[in-house]
């Protein structure tokens, strides 16, 4: 009987911990094609990257809050409250990470250098 209770306690703890919100850093970026941003000029890319970064920071803060709420909810109520109230935030973080990576890829592959060179030649 004692081993059964111990096993159930461990199983419940594992299930509760697996239901907790993820850290923003552990969420993988969505696969976003950088070509959808290729029409943007370099200043527009920089502005878009700033907006995406601000949105990512807001979403990451929200996910961190969900993690804190999960910890408190598990302690007091036995249920991960934060994960239930922020269920779409991980998808948002994944999308924003993918968009940021796509913009950074364009900037790092010489996209901006080519645009600057072509406008200087005129």
**pLDDT value at residue 23:** 85
Half-sphere exposure of 28 (CA within 13 A, CB side): 3
**pLDDT value at residue 10:** 57
Q: Where are the domains of the chain?
A: 2-120
**pLDDT value at residue 113:** 61
The 10s digit of each residue's pLDDT in 50-104 is 999 999 999 999 999 888 888 888 778 877 777 777 778 899 999 999 999 999 9
Length of the chain: 122
Query: In angstroms, what CA-CA distances link 54 with 17, 42, 81, 86?
Result: 29, 18, 26, 18
Q: Range with the lowest mean pLDDT among 2-6, 24-28, 97-101?
A: 2-6
pLDDT band, very low/low/confident/very high, at 5 (cuts 50, 70, 90):
low
Report how far residue 19's alpha carbon sits from residue 6's, in angstroms, rounded to the nearest whole number. Answer: 20
**pLDDT value at residue 3:** 67
Predicted model pTM: 0.72
Q: Rounded mean pLDDT of 40-55?
A: 93
H-helix or E-strand spanning residue 34: none
Report how far residue 30's alpha carbon sits from residue 97's, in angstroms, rounded to the nearest whole number. Answer: 7
* Residues 104 and 46 sit within 8 Å (Cβ to Cβ): no
């Amino acid at each position: 009987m004692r081993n059964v209770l111990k096993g159930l306690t461990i199983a419940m703890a594992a299930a509760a911990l697996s239901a907790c919100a993820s850290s923003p850093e552990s969420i993988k970026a969505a696969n976003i094609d950088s070509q959808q941003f290729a029409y943007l000029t370099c200043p527009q890319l920089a502005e878009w990257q700033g907006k995406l970064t601000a949105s990512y920071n807001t979403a990451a803060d929200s996910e961190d809050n969900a993690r804190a709420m999960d910890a408190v909810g598990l302690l007091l109520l036995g249920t991960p409250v934060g994960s239930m109230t922020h269920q779409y935030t991980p998808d948002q973080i994944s999308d924003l990470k993918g968009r940021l990576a796509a913009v950074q890829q364009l900037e790092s592959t010489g996209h901006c250098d080519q645009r600057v060179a072509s406008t200087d030649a005129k």
